[in-house]
Every structure is written in structure tokens, then in C-alpha cells.
Structure 1
Amino acid sequence: MSAVDTPAAKATLRTATGREATRWVRAHCREVPWLASTTVVSTVAGAALQIVPVLLLGRVVDGVVDKESRSVLVEVGVLMVAAALLGAAVTGLSTYLIGRLGADLLARLREGAVRAVLGLPSARIEQVGRGDVLARVGDDVAVLSKGIRTAIPTVFSAGVLVAIATAGMFGLDWRLGLAGAGALPAYALALRWYLPRSAPLYRKQRVAQADRAQALISGLDGIDTVRAYRLESAFGEKVTRESWRVRELGIEVFRFFGRFVGRENRAEFIGLVLILVVGYALLEAGAASLGEVSAAPLMFHRLFTPLGAIMFTFDEAQKSGASLTRLVGVVGEPAQERLVGDASVAPARAVPYQVTVEGLTFGYPDTEEPVLRDVGLTIPAGGSLALVGATGAGKSTLAALVAGIGTPQAGSVHIGPHDLAELDEAGARALVTILTQETHVFSGPLADDLRLSAPEATDAELRDALGTAGAAGWVDALPEGLRTLVGEGGERLDGTKVAQIGLARLVLSRSPVVVLDESTAEAGSEGAAELERAVLAACAGRTTLFVAHRLTQAMAADRIAVLDAGRVVEQGTHDELVALGGRYARLWRAWREGS
């Protein structure tokens, strides 16, 4: 479906709750028990070793006060140095293991998300828009990957260190521990204020970024149509509007985090004052030694570094958490129930089928008005029909429904004797082949790329299909012909050649009905006429529905249907509609002037 023809539906892929994401992480940690347990043990050991020098420092103070021998002080000093070095080594090991565990989880999540997207029904992909899909398997994976390398190890290690240091203060004296714990209510209030507000805000920011990506994709994919209908300003304003929304949310996130930092600083001040006051009172009463009273504020101050690390990386951790819930949500999307349909619905011989559309009404979720209203069309077996109309008229939506992508709220689409509503998606693929402007060339030999639509095709059949698509000349000139590597890391192909590969796949598919949705839009003007001839050759003998990107394509069709606001307002041949002087005639004049 052409992005420029799709309404701005607000439907998105599901987002998991925090509990669902946590359960997913726990389940996958249980699949690598040795790595997970070693990570936890090394993190706890590293945190414990980091507070040992502070405790020993209190011992040094008491030793000086009690005038113990110098050898005892030297011994304590050696222990402090050994604990610091060992703590650094174990902390380094912990950081490595956290990164390794995170990388393993990310790899599993990435594979699961991509597998889930590939298993989604085409209608679901069209419903949510490619911007949301690409943002999840692209941007969200990148955000989570960065978080796993930086923020998540820091937050986890620092959190364990905070717990160990707090226990250490209670080990010095329970009253000093309670004094330090007096800061906990302030910390808790700060987190209680921050957490419920931050996660939705970060999710909102990620959704805004996905909407901006969708707006950019829509404009770029349909750039020729946008120019033809003089919609540059409208699409420019849309991209600008979405970009400003992302900017405003970014500023809001920054301000929000700054307020959180201020609340954390107040909690640190409260805790330090309480420890100093209680420590002085205990020392005056002779209830605690000078070493214990000296070590307590140092121990509490030792919390500042991990707490500061948590604060300054919590922003990144929250972003990672938001991306995690979006990715786990994708994994939880219901997949296509049956990927292999019944091929018997296709005709035994390569004969065309009539296409009949009756009373078709369709609307996207969360939209008030339907995109298509009571549409009725008939394409005779072996005939061709071109759909034209302004952007948003419903052309691509109608083409997708004829191809079996989506289910109408009313009406029906029949391919020969078959009602598409009674077939699964794979069964519809046996009857209809849809070719859009988004043809992708996969990395590998050209022959393998072509056999995606006909796995059993011989090399001779591949060459015949390439000849029909007008690609035989440049393919024969390739270094290794059909065995030449194409795509990423191989022979780079321009837009015209990519479109010809798509047409060759179309020829090999042998389906009785063909839907072409702006399939030559990515080709340059030099290859447009050649591609239009190749399209007619590839569709010869098959029932064909065109979404006309160039009105010269509409001229070549047997009949033309003009859509306006989801309704068919005109039908006829090119000459009949020009002579009528209606909407098609105005589009034709605008097209000629734009060209």
C-alpha cells in the first residue's frame, strides 16, 4: 500500500507492560543459568569489596586513637590496598558478564521481534504503518543495545553497591544505620514521583519518533506523486509538525529529569545531616568509637557515586525500558496462523480470473470516516483497470483489499469464484500477486532472488522472465550472469533495474490476477517509458489492477476508475473521461502541466 495514500491511523503494534517485560527477561535468564548466576555473584562480590576499604579506614582511626603498633596499621593498610585492587578486578568481571548477558538477551529479543514482524498478517502491517514497525526493529533495538552497553550495567551494579553500603552502615552501628536510612523516605518519594511519570513520557517520545519516521517515509516513498499533485507544502508541514512534537517532548523529558535530580540531592543532604548529628551524639555519649563515627559519613558519602551514576544513567535506562516493552510487545503480537495456503484455489492452467468488487466499505481503526464507501468495480478476465485520484482518495487501500490484504467492514471481493474473505492470506497469494514500489533486492545470487516467487523455476525460465521484464540485456552483461551477487555487498542496482527484477518475479509467479501499486515509482524518468512497456508485457493475459502513478499508465489500461474521498466518481476509457471534462480531465491537465 502506498504510504501517501494511507490515512494517518493511530493504530500501533502492542506495547507490553513492565511486568510482561520483566517476565520475559527472567524467562530468558533461566535459559542461561550459569551466566546469570555468575553475573549476580560477581556483582555482589565486587560491591562488597568496594566498601571494605571504608570499613578498614575506621579501624585505622581507632588504631591511631588507641595508639596501637605501627605494624597493625601497616597490616590494615595492605588489606585496604588488596581489597581495592581485588574489588576493581571483580567489578570489571561483573561489568563484562552483565554486558555479555545483556547482549545474549538482546540477540534473542531482536530475533524474536523480527520473526514476529515477518509472521504478522500484511493487513496488520498496513494498519500500523511501516514507521512504527521500523522504529521497533530499528530504533528501539538501537536504544536498547546502547542501554545494555552503558546504562543497564551501571544501574544494576550501582544498585547492588547501594544495598551493600547500606548494610555496611548498619554493621558499624545500628543507630548510624538508622540515621542513614532516614534519607530513604526522601529517595522513595523522589522515585515515587519520578517513575510513574517517566515511563509513559518515554513511551510517548518513542511513539512520536515513530510518527515522524512514518511521515518521512510517506513523503519520500511517494515523492513523484507528491510533486505531481503539488502536495510538497502539505507533506513538508506534516514532517515539520512531527519533528517539532519530537523536539518538544525531548525538552519536556530533559526538564523532568532535572527536577528529579533536585529531589535526589535533597535526599542526600537529609541523610548526611542525620548521620553527622547522630554520630556526634553517640561520640559524646561514649556509645560509639571515633572510627565508627568517622566511617559512617564516609560510607554514606560512598553512596553518592553509585546514586549519582543511577541518576545520570536512569534517563538512558528508562529509554531502554520503554524500548524493551515495545519490543516484547512485538514478540507478543498474534502471528499469522497459517503461512502456507491451499494452492488449489489457483486455476490449473494460466488462465485469468474476473475480479468483482461489490459494495466495498472499509475504514481503519480509530478513524471516524471510512476510507472506501460502497465501491463497486468489475475487471473482466484478462482485462485491465487503472485507479486514479488525488492523494488520500483510497486507491492503495482498494488495491490492497483486492490483493487480500485486510478485511472490509462491508461488501466483498471475488477473484473468479472465490471470495477473498473465505481464504487465508497465503491462499489469496495463490490468486493475486501484488507489486508495489517497495521492491527489495536481497543479498545473494540474482537467481536466488528471482526464485523467491518460483522456487522450482529453471535458469531458462528465469531468463525468459527477465526478457519479458526488459532486463535480459544488463543481466547478460553481469560478470557471472544469473550467479552474480546482488544487493548489499554485491552488484548495486539502480531503481529501474530493481523494478525490472520485481516485474520478473511477477512473471514467474503465474497468478491469474495482478495488482500493481505504483510499482515503477522508484524508477527515474529515463527508465519510466521502458518500464511501462515491461509492465504491459509482464501482465499480458492476466487480469490487472493498476494504481496509476503516471497517468500515461492509466492511458494504457482498458478502463479507468476515478476515486474521490473513497467513492468511484467516474469510469471509462481515457478518451471518454477527458471528453467528459470532469475530475479525471482536471487531473490530466494538472499532470501535463506538472510534467
Structure 2
Amino acid sequence: MSTAVSSAPVTILRTATGREALRWVRDHCRTAPLLPVATVLATVAGAVLQVVPVFLLGTVVDGFVEKRPATMLWSVGIATVVAALGGAVMTAVSTYLVGRVGADMLARLREGAVRAVLGMPSARIEQVGRGDVLSRVGDDVAVISKGFRTAIPTIFSAAVLVVIATAGMFGLDWRLGIAGAMALPAYWWALRWYLPRSQPLYRARSEAQADRAQALISGLDGIDTVRAYRLEGVFRDRVTAESWRVRNIGIEVFRFFGRFIGRENRAEFIGLGLIIVVGYLLVTGGQSSLGQVSVAALLFHRLFNPLGLIMAFFDEAQKSGAGLTRLVGVLSESDGDKLVRSAAAVDVNAAPLPVSVRGLSFQYPESDHLVLQDVDLEIPAGTSLALVGATGAGKTTLAALVAGTGTPLTGSVHIGDTDLADVDEAGARALVSILTQEAHVFAGPLAEDLRLAAPEASDEDLMDALRTVGAAGWVEALPDGLRTDVGEGGERLDVTKVAQIALARLVLGRSPVVVLDESTAEAGSQGAAQLEKAALAACRGRTTLLVAHRLTQAVAADRIAVLDAGQVVEQGTHDELVARDGRYARLWAAWRLGSTNT
């Protein structure tokens, strides 16, 4: 089904900037500050205890040079063991706490992203494609989750250890500290070279994964059509092309990462070489002891391991950062798009409302022609209007706009005194219910599926709605009646039964206006006749706009509007339009001829 969409040219969900993502993380930590503070303290304590044995080793070296008693080794050895055990315990505690902070953050992020997606206007979801949506709430969440479990705790602990060890070198002798710090410009230049080049690659890979998911989903959704027209090879080639695109970007990322590691190794060589040279000059000049220089060299060498861990997990952290910006971007979609909020409850006893369409025009993004042009329609309260016309005339687009899905280029749609442009989609759903041929049954008990439209409805209310649409008989014959599981993993329902469930939800929803967009088109001829009667019963007493797939549906409507190339060319009752001998009369004659031949 094609529905109206916003006229904005955006085709994917928003991606936040790195600064916005960091701001979101900061705000999250402020909501529960005790856990982040405890995490930092545990990490610092673990890092300090890890460098203590290095300083103790310097004491041993000076003791050997100064020929101190051998008993000193026992005290140093005991202190080293205690420090090592304490460091291991605090590192484990730090890793757990970082993971806990990450888990809490991810839970909030995932919940917010899913809520934002569920709250987006359906036109926005159709515009961006489900591949982009699913890659964010699926692939990106998985990447961030892995990063919070492994990369982030490791990098955070390693970074704290680097700071502590660097501070220790300056504490020994400022000249040794400066010698080691001379490696920092080399590290900085390596990062400055790598980051601007890698971040766009990670985002490009995420977008390529979204395109691959969309290609796969479109093929699976239309698998029957694909097989009917023998298009398996076309869709397979499309998925293969997108997969190779993901693969090629991944190779480019790995290539840049390898060059980055080479630059980091050069920085390590510079720092260690300078410490050895400066240390030699200080020892020969009597300005520092051999133990101090040994500690400085070992501290800098001690940095190799945490820096190596940072480099090893940097790729994972980059992917997590890219995923974070994409998910935070979903949370901020409300900056440019009106999210769906909770709709006010509909009074089931309220009178039906009239529908007024005035000067309505619509144009799809990146299209150079109008789908609808200056459409004017009036549907009096409690009456029905059928839209007929050739494929591409604009019937579905007009129905979607009347239902509040999408934004017209010009003109307005009023439900009673309410302009749909002034309400979000939830507000529109409170006024207008739309039913298309893409009816869906959710997995679970049938009663829960029906209560999606009326959460407070009793079992008797559900059965009344099912009786209205002619479905009570087969529902009562189910193994557990309303408690029977339907949908995936449950009772298999044919197209007619699925449509009846959708119509029963329509009855339970009780909105004053109903839009039916070819809701019986997928059923066979016998099922279609049954569903047409059910649709009339479900809409009785409500203002109804019907996109007529069969002209028998149009005949049952109070009035008919004929669309051609986005314009209303005829309006009237069935008898009036047949008597005019115009476009509708020709459609009706062709329909009767086809029905007779069949």
C-alpha cells in the first residue's frame, strides 16, 4: 500500500553529533551519580595498586646498589603480593561497575529509541524504510551492548592506568616525566590522523548494513511476488551487492586501523628511547638513582599493555560510538518531526463527525508532479463516500491524508471542527480509524490482539464486535476461544479471518470517522463478498471514506467520487453517475461486462 508521506526530503532517521551523544551520556550519569562515582574511585584505586609493584622494584634496585640487607626483599615481596592482589580485586570491581553503568545506560537508550520509533508518524517510518529503523534498534543496540561489555570497561581502566603511570613518572623526576611525555605529540598526531578518517567509515558501514537489511526485508515481504515473477536472482544480486558494500567498507576500516597501530608503535619507541637517554644522563651525573630511572622506564613500558588494549578495543569503541550517535539521533527525531503522543479517549456514544477536504494538493518527495491537485470533498456526518478510479489516480494517497497520515502540500482536512494539521497521529487516530489491505495479527491470545483497540473491553464486548463482522462462529470453534494463540506460532488464520479481526478492532475502536483502503482486496471472491458485508456492519452509523477495489463496494456507498490524475472529476450517487454516462458509467459498464464474462 502506498500512503502519503511528509514532504520533507529526509530519507533516513537523524544521526546525532558526537557532542550530542556525549551530552546524553553526561545527563544519564547525572540521574544516578553514585554508581559512576563509585566506578571512577574503584578504577583509580585499581590503577594505583597496579603501579605500586613497579615502585617497589625500584626500591629493590637501589637496595642492591647500596648493598642493603637481604631481609628487605621479604618486606618488598610481601608488599608486592598484597598490592598485586588488591589491584586485581579493584580492577575486577571496576570492570563490574563499568559494565553496570553501561547496562543501565543501554537499557534506557534502547527503551527510549524503541519508544521514539513507536511514536513516530507512520509516514515517517515508511519514508525512512524499515531497514534503517531495524538496523538502529537491532544492529546498533547489539554493537553498543558488546562495547559496554568489553571495549568500554577495558579502555576506561586502561586510560586511568595511563594517567596514573604518567603522574608517577613526573613524581620520580620531572625530567623523566617530560622525556616520557615527549611521546604524547606522536600519539596525538596518530589519533588526529585516524579519527577524522575512521568515524565516517564506521557511519558508512552502519548505513550500508541498514541498506542491506532493507534489501533483504523487501525481498522477504514480497516473497510470493518475487517467486511469481521469477525475480529471485534480482533480489539475490541486490542483497549480494549490499553485502559486498558492507564488506568493502569493513576492509577499508581495518586498513586504516592497521596504519594507526603503526603510528602508535612509533610513539612508543620515541618515548622509551628518550627515557633511556635522559635516565642515563641523570644517573651518570649523579642527579638520579638507578632505581628511579628503572622505575621510569618500567612505568613507560607498563603503558604498552594498557595502550595496546586501548588500540585493540578502539575499533569496537568506535563502532559503539557510531551506534550511540545513531540511537541518540533517533531520540532527537522530535526536533524535526512531531512524535505521536497518547490520544484522548474516544466517547463511544459520540455522534459521527463530518469530513471536509478543501483545496487538497500533495506531492511526494523528489517527485516533479502532483499526486493530488485542489481536491474538494464533503462527507456529511454518518454517511459514506466511495473513491473510485484507475490505478495511480491518487485514491490511496487521498485516503491516507484524510486519515491524518502525512502532510498535504496545500489545503486542509477537517474532522468536524478539528484541522488534522493541528494534531499528531495519535490525535488523528482518536478521530479517524484507517484499515488497509495490510491487516496484521500479532502473536498471542486472540483476546489481547482485539484489545489493542479497546484495552478495557470485556470478553462480551469482544464477542459482540466479532458477531458484528461475522466472525463469532469460527472464533467459538477455536480450541480455547478468545484465549487461543494466533499469529506466529499460534493458530493459522486465512486472509478472510485476518481481515475480520481487523474489522472487529475497528468496531471496538469506535472512532467517529473510518477510512477503508481496499481492506477486502486480498480475499477471494467469496471471502470478499463476506468481508464487504462485514465492513458495512463495522462502519454503520459512522462517517466512512472507502477506497473501492470492487465497484460493488461503491454501489453500497451513499455517494461516489471519481478520481483521475489526482483530481475529482465526478461526484454523485451510483444512479446519478450512471445516468450521466461519464467516466463512472464507463467503469461500471466495463465492470458488469467483466463480471458477466467471469
Normalising by the smaller structure, the TM-score range is 0.7 to 0.9
Q: What secondary structure, in the 3-state scheme, does the structure 2 residue paired with 1:70 have?
A: coil
Equivalent-residue separation in structure 1 for 2:45 and 2:414 (angstroms): 68
- The verdict on how the C-alpha distance between 1:509 and 1:30 changes in structure 2, with shifts beyond 3 A counting, is closer
Equivalent-residue separation in structure 1 for 2:284 and 2:92 (angstroms): 42
CA drift at 1:191? 0.9
| Contact 2:446–2:485 under 8 Å retained in 1 | yes
Partner of 1:128: 128
Partner of 1:360: 361
- The verdict on how the C-alpha distance between 1:512 and 1:241 changes in structure 2, with shifts beyond 3 A counting, is farther
Equivalent-residue separation in structure 2 for 1:355 and 1:224 (angstroms): 39
Partner of 2:71: 71
Partner of 1:80: 80
| Contact 2:442–2:449 under 8 Å retained in 1 | yes
The within-5 A match list for 1:20-99 is 20-99=20-99
Equivalent-residue separation in structure 2 for 1:405 and 1:193 (angstroms): 46
Q: Which runs of 5+ in 2 are unaligned?
A: 571-581
Q: What secondary structure, in the 3-state scheme, does the structure 2 residue paired with 1:309 have?
A: helix
**Aligned residue pairs, count:** 567
Range moving further from structure 2, 461-470 or 196-205 = 461-470
Equivalent-residue separation in structure 2 for 1:326 and 1:410 (angstroms): 33
Which residue type is aligned with residue 339 of structure 1? S
Equivalent-residue separation in structure 2 for 1:572 and 1:225 (angstroms): 32
- The verdict on how the C-alpha distance between 1:249 and 1:240 changes in structure 2, with shifts beyond 3 A counting, is same
CA drift at 1:378? 6.0
The within-5 A match list for 1:234-253 is 238-253=238-253
Q: What secondary structure, in the 3-state scheme, does the structure 2 residue paired with 1:78 have?
A: helix
Q: What secondary structure, in the 3-state scheme, does the structure 2 residue paired with 1:11 have?
A: coil
Q: What secondary structure, in the 3-state scheme, does the structure 2 residue paired with 1:545 have?
A: strand
Q: Kindly indicate whether residue 342 of structure 2 is the aligned counterpart of residue 339 of structure 1.
A: yes
Range moving further from structure 2, 77-86 or 417-426 = 417-426
Q: What secondary structure, in the 3-state scheme, does the structure 2 residue paired with 1:408 have?
A: coil
| Contact 1:389–1:563 under 8 Å retained in 2 | no
Partner of 1:15: 15
Q: Kindly indicate whether residue 113 of structure 2 is the aligned counterpart of residue 113 of structure 1.
A: yes
Partner of 1:374: 373
Range moving further from structure 2, 76-85 or 512-521 = 512-521
Deviations 1:316-350 (A, max 9, x none): 11111112122222222325475325858x99446
Aligned counterpart for 2:531 among listed residues 535, 547, 556: 535
- The verdict on how the C-alpha distance between 1:249 and 1:517 changes in structure 2, with shifts beyond 3 A counting, is farther
CA drift at 1:265? 1.5
Equivalent-residue separation in structure 1 for 2:468 and 2:192 (angstroms): 67
Q: What secondary structure, in the 3-state scheme, does the structure 1 residue paired with 2:31 have?
A: coil
Q: What secondary structure, in the 3-state scheme, does the structure 1 residue paired with 2:387 have?
A: strand
| Contact 1:358–1:412 under 8 Å retained in 2 | yes
- The verdict on how the C-alpha distance between 1:39 and 1:51 changes in structure 2, with shifts beyond 3 A counting, is same
Equivalent-residue separation in structure 1 for 2:292 and 2:509 (angstroms): 81
| Contact 1:179–1:275 under 8 Å retained in 2 | yes
| Contact 2:53–2:84 under 8 Å retained in 1 | yes
Partner of 1:384: 386
Equivalent-residue separation in structure 2 for 1:225 and 1:173 (angstroms): 76
| Contact 1:387–1:546 under 8 Å retained in 2 | no
Range moving further from structure 2, 280-289 or 171-180 = 280-289
Equivalent-residue separation in structure 1 for 2:325 and 2:531 (angstroms): 44
Partner of 2:575: none
The Cα RMSD (Å) is: 3.9
Equivalent-residue separation in structure 2 for 1:388 and 1:302 (angstroms): 76
Deviations 1:227-266 (A, max 9, x none): 6778766655554443333233222222222221121121
Q: Which runs of 5+ in 1 are unaligned?
A: none
Deviations 1:418-456 (A, max 9, x none): 654455434432443223466555566432331222345
**TM-score of the aligned structures, taking structure 2 as reference length:** 0.82
Deviations 1:137-166 (A, max 9, x none): 222222111111111111111110111111
Partner of 2:579: none
- The verdict on how the C-alpha distance between 1:574 and 1:275 changes in structure 2, with shifts beyond 3 A counting, is farther
Partner of 2:206: 206
- The verdict on how the C-alpha distance between 1:512 and 1:216 changes in structure 2, with shifts beyond 3 A counting, is farther
Equivalent-residue separation in structure 2 for 1:577 and 1:255 (angstroms): 66
CA drift at 1:171? 2.4
| Contact 1:388–1:554 under 8 Å retained in 2 | no
Partner of 1:160: 160
CA drift at 1:36? 1.3
Q: What secondary structure, in the 3-state scheme, does the structure 2 residue paired with 1:452 have?
A: coil
Partner of 1:463: 463
Range moving further from structure 2, 10-19 or 38-47 = 10-19
Equivalent-residue separation in structure 2 for 1:241 and 1:568 (angstroms): 44
Q: Kindly indicate whether residue 332 of structure 2 is the aligned counterpart of residue 302 of structure 1.
A: no
Partner of 2:587: 576
Partner of 1:273: 273
Which residue type is aligned with residue 298 of structure 1? L
Partner of 2:402: 402
Q: Kindly indicate whether residue 175 of structure 2 is the aligned counterpart of residue 194 of structure 1.
A: no
- The verdict on how the C-alpha distance between 1:27 and 1:456 changes in structure 2, with shifts beyond 3 A counting, is closer
Range moving further from structure 2, 427-436 or 53-62 = 427-436
CA drift at 1:284? 2.7
Partner of 1:219: 219
| Contact 2:388–2:562 under 8 Å retained in 1 | yes
Deviations 1:520-554 (A, max 9, x none): 79x8xxx7556534532332164343486xxxx67
Q: What secondary structure, in the 3-state scheme, does the structure 2 residue paired with 1:201 have?
A: helix
Deviations 1:281-334 (A, max 9, x none): 323333322222223222212111111111111111111111212222222232
Partner of 2:578: none
- The verdict on how the C-alpha distance between 1:289 and 1:81 changes in structure 2, with shifts beyond 3 A counting, is same
| Contact 1:554–1:560 under 8 Å retained in 2 | no
Identity %: 63
Which residue type is aligned with residue 369 of structure 1? D
Deviations 1:384-408 (A, max 9, x none): 3367647xx9775444223211111
Q: What secondary structure, in the 3-state scheme, does the structure 2 residue paired with 1:332 have?
A: helix
Range moving further from structure 2, 146-155 or 112-121 = 112-121
- The verdict on how the C-alpha distance between 1:87 and 1:197 changes in structure 2, with shifts beyond 3 A counting, is same
Deviations 1:115-144 (A, max 9, x none): 323333334333333332222222222211
Which residue type is aligned with residue 371 of structure 2? L
| Contact 1:165–1:300 under 8 Å retained in 2 | yes
Equivalent-residue separation in structure 2 for 1:350 and 1:112 (angstroms): 36
Q: What secondary structure, in the 3-state scheme, does the structure 2 residue paired with 1:407 have?
A: coil
Q: What secondary structure, in the 3-state scheme, does the structure 1 residue paired with 2:71 have?
A: helix
